[in-house]
Structures are given as C-alpha cells and as structure tokens.
Amino acid sequence: MIRFYFESTKEFPLKKLEIKNWLNKVIINENYESGDLNIIFCSDVYLIEINKKYLSHDYYTDIITFNYCEDKIISGDVYISTDRINENTSIYSTSFQNELNRVMVHGILHLLKYNDKTEEEKKEMTSKENQYLNIL
C-alpha cells in the first residue's frame, strides 16, 4: 500500500490514485510486489536533519530512501524535499509535477535495487526513469 504524507511543508494537490497505480505498475514491471510504501514530502530543513542523523551527510538532497524490502516485496520510506523539487524545476526547465514524478520514480527504483553512484549506474537510472515517466 502506498501512502502520502506532508511533513513541515505546505500540502499541494496530488493525484494520489493515479500516482499509486503508476508506481505499482513500475514495481510489477520489475517483477516485484508492492508492500508498505510511505512517500513523505518535506522541507529542506526537515530532510537535511534526516540526512545528518541517519546518513552523516551535511548537505541538501532532493530524496532519501530507506529500504525495508524483503525478498520480492518492496517496502520503504521515501522522503522528498519539495524545496529541492522547486529549485530543480528552474535548473532543468521542467514543471513541478514532472520533476516530482521523476524524483518519486527515482526513489522507487532505488528500492528496486537500482543505484546511481557510478556514471554507468546513473545512465541506467536515468534511462529507467525516462521509461517509466513515459508510461505515466
């Protein structure tokens, strides 16, 4: 089950059912099952505290994913900074919704064992993001 939360950020319109169906399609397409997924939209301040506390990183990021997956069941917490999403819209000349969708699927892909540490992994991650954005 996919749930959405807002922490220390203003709520915004979200097509929850459409997004849930889309993310479930991504998970199924990768031959996994959806478990408990929490997508938490938050501020930079909220997310940097999580970054410092749990990852010992002192910098802003658009997403942090905590993986609770077991076998083929995808579960986790996906924290997304709406402040970073807003900033990224200017950097990448895209809309808030498009950037939000990209970051949400990016988090799901991390839970599906895709990484983005190396250039090769980044290319694969971007390719997968584009693939799944096209089915939305």
pLDDT at 63: 96
| Helix orientation angle between 119-135 and 96-111, rounded to the nearest 10 degrees | 120
pLDDT at 46: 97
Q: Is 90 exceeded by the pLDDT of residue 10?
A: yes
Q: What is the DSSP string of 59-100?
A: S--SEEEEE--BTTEEEEEEEEEHHHHHHHHHHTT--HHHHH
- Token readout for 115 is 């990484």
* Burial of 107 per CB tally in 10 Å (0-12, 13-18, 19+): buried
- pLDDT grade, residue 124 (50/70/90)? very high
Q: pLDDT of 82-117, one tens digit each? A: 999 999 999 999 999 999 999 999 999 999 999 999
Q: pLDDT of 49-78, one tens digit each? A: 999 999 999 988 999 999 999 999 999 999
pLDDT at 136: 87
Q: Is 90 exceeded by the pLDDT of residue 120?
A: yes
pLDDT at 125: 97
Domains and CATH numbers, the chain: 2-135 (3.40.390.30)
